[in-house]
Amino acid sequence: MEKKTIEAFNIQNNSINIDYKNIDFLKKFISSDGKIIPSRRSGLSCKQHRKLTKAIKRARAINLLHFINKEN
């Protein structure tokens, strides 16, 4: 079974800002179990993945994101 990878975003060109307020963008990097997708599947660099992880955790702490993904 082939694992689904995230589409390549223009993060390298800095056109998309990784921010805890950008909920729609952050949801793309959360699995159906509510876990953060690893960088090897998302295609992000280590630095970008650390920023993404911090943004997701901040959004969860102030209840912008659920700890469990309720869409699936």
Q: Which CATH class is domain 13-72?
A: few secondary structures
pLDDT at 3: 64
pLDDT at 12: 53
pLDDT at 55: 96
What's the CA gap between 18 and 21, in Å, rounded? 9
pLDDT at 67: 83
Both tokens of residue 67? 């700890």
Taking only the tens of pLDDT, the chain with its 72 residues reads 566 666 555 555 556 789 999 999 999 999 888 899 999 998 888 999 999 999 999 999 999 998 876 665
